[in-house]
Amino acid sequence: MKKTMIALVFVLLLLTMSCSSVLAGGMVKLGIEPNGALSTKISGYMLGYEVEPGPSVTGEYLVALNEKVQVGGGLEYQLKRNVQGLAAGFSFIPLYGTVKLKAPLSTNLNTYFTGKIGYNYLMLDQSVEGFDYGGGLYYGLGIGIDLNSKYAVEAEYSVNKGELSYILKQPFHYSKIRLAVGYNF
């Protein structure tokens, strides 16, 4: 399964790099989530855990509707991250639609806002056996700055949802702030 996901990310990155030949733009982003929060509800009680920092790789494909609005889709691959105090690790792979709205907050900055919504697949560490799990809703909001025609920096708040079940299904929520550097093709 891990080899399949790595191959999928590699194919997405190749597809993104080939986007420059059409009237669309591709971007590859390398990100870091310096902190995150994991929560689940078990028997009516909400449990929360801190999550250790983790890197991510994202590929997006955007088409310009006009000078200010771009729409498209993307795929993010979060490398495994561990829950503080537990031996268990997890990662999500969201597939989403996105909107990028250019909104200059200053005459000297090319700023933009992003919105994302989609579905993500939950992957658990092999040390967590006996659990069934599934993906769920993914959404995020961000702000970024186009440094020039090739590079951008971005900050984003996003939430990944999934399900865990041992005996009963329990919601599994991972919220985080991601800082990323992007390269446009």
What does the pLDDT read at residue 21? 44
Alpha-carbon distance of 154 to 21, in angstroms, equals: 25
Which is nearest to 116 in space by CA: 101, 135, 133, 134? 101
Map out the domains of the chain as residue ranges.
Answer: 2-184
Q: Are 16 and 60 in contact (CB under 8 A)?
A: yes
Q: Give CA torsion, residues 23, 29, 35, 36, to 10 deg.
A: 40
> For residues 126 and 54, which has the higher predicted lDDT (pLDDT)?
54
Report DSSP state, residue 20.
G
The residues, ordered by sequence, that sit 6+ positions from 170 with a Cβ below 8 Å of its Cβ are: 40, 41, 42, 163, 164
pLDDT over 70, % of the chain:
82
Q: pLDDT digit string (tens) for 174-184?
A: 999 999 999 98
- Within 10 angstroms of residue 92's Cβ, the number of other Cβ atoms is 23
Amino acid at 184: N
CATH code for the part of the protein at 2-184: 2.40.160.20
The pair of three-digit structure tokens given for residue 34, joined into one six-digit string: 């310096």
Coil, strand, or helix at residue 84? coil
What is the reported pTM? Answer: 0.82
pLDDT digits (tens, 9 = 90+) for 58-93: 999 999 999 899 999 999 999 988 888 777 788 899
